[in-house]
Amino acid sequence: MVLTRPVVVTGANGFIGRALIAHFRETGRPFRAAVRAWDPEVPRPPSVVVVRDLATAAEAELAALLEDASAIVHFAARVHVMRETEIDPAALYRAANVVATARLASAAVRAGATRFVFASTVKVNGEFTVAGRPFRPDDPPAPQDAYARSKLDAERELGRLCAGTPLVPVILRLPLVYGPGVAGNFLALQDEIARGRALPLGAIRNRRSVLGTGNLVEAIDAALDAPVAPRGVHFVADGESIAVPDLVRAMAAALGVEARLRAVPVGLLRLAGALSGRRATVLRLTESLEVDPATFTTATGWTPRRSLAHGLAATARWWRLRHSI
């Protein structure tokens, strides 16, 4: 089933939202892009709608956003903050991630939409996996921070509001997503590699699931177009997980530079992280975190077509263009 009415995309000017909108333009899928702000000096296309805050927007504003929509892809969120400075971050996460999702879902039910694709996070399941045992959708949730707890609460609210209605919730718990426009830790690592910095990561022996935007946008196509909507929680990821040192080597190859890895014992890395206040960052680099996308593949037929090398090459091209300006 191919949906022909517009698909509403929230967070459309974010990293992943921009990739999806570009994909929809390329493939000809009708869409309506919700953004928080727009430069008044730049003409705004009819497909772009400004909604400053989904948690507090008037009902009429949400109704106009979702008018005649076939489906919603909900990316807008307050994402994980590495160095939190807010006094009450839990309240901010709840407003942006739980309240906004619930209000959007209620408006979608009233508008007669039939699918709600919700971008959640692997962090709902926890921070690490045992080697060879990836997270699966039926594993018990174990969120460790306010961000992950807010995403789990949003998943549950979405399920509650969709129950007994034609609106089907499709929850995609995402691992690390990379691609052109990436920010955060991935971009910081890419900067270090490009500058030829020696990285003390050579002794790490872990496995991490990652997801390129090229594979993610096709997974969203599958969630929207599957004859039977893939209700419930699923994971999506690239075809193979990878160890952090191998990821560094692959990123360096894409950038055309040498990977400078130093084999510092993992125990020393963790000690340095604890002493420097970066324990969580070091644990993320050294522990495994894998997911199993089998349920989504079974439900939709989706498999990741693009390799890690393909995604990293696209990311490297964007990085070089960004640094040539």
Catalytic residues: 147
| Residue 22 token pair | 């570009």
CA atoms within 13 A on the CB side of 171: 23
What is the sign, positive or negative, of the torsion defined by CA atoms of 297, 303, 307, 310? Answer: negative
Strands 31-35 and 7-10: parallel
* Residues 23-34: b if buried by 16+ CB within 10 A, e if exposed: bbeeeebebbbb
Query: Closest Cα to residue 171, out of 47, 36, 35, 74?
Result: 74
Q: Is 253 exposed, middle or buried (0-12, 13-18, 19+ CB in 10 A)?
A: middle
What is the sign, positive or negative, of the torsion defined by CA atoms of 155, 181, 29, 236? Answer: negative
Q: C-alpha distances in angstroms, 192 versus 184, 288, 314?
A: 13, 22, 18
d(CA 205, CA 248): 13
What's the gap between Cα 324 and its chain centre?
27
Contact present, 17 and 181 (Cβ < 8 Å): no
| Residue 241 token pair | 């997980």
d(CA 212, CA 220): 13
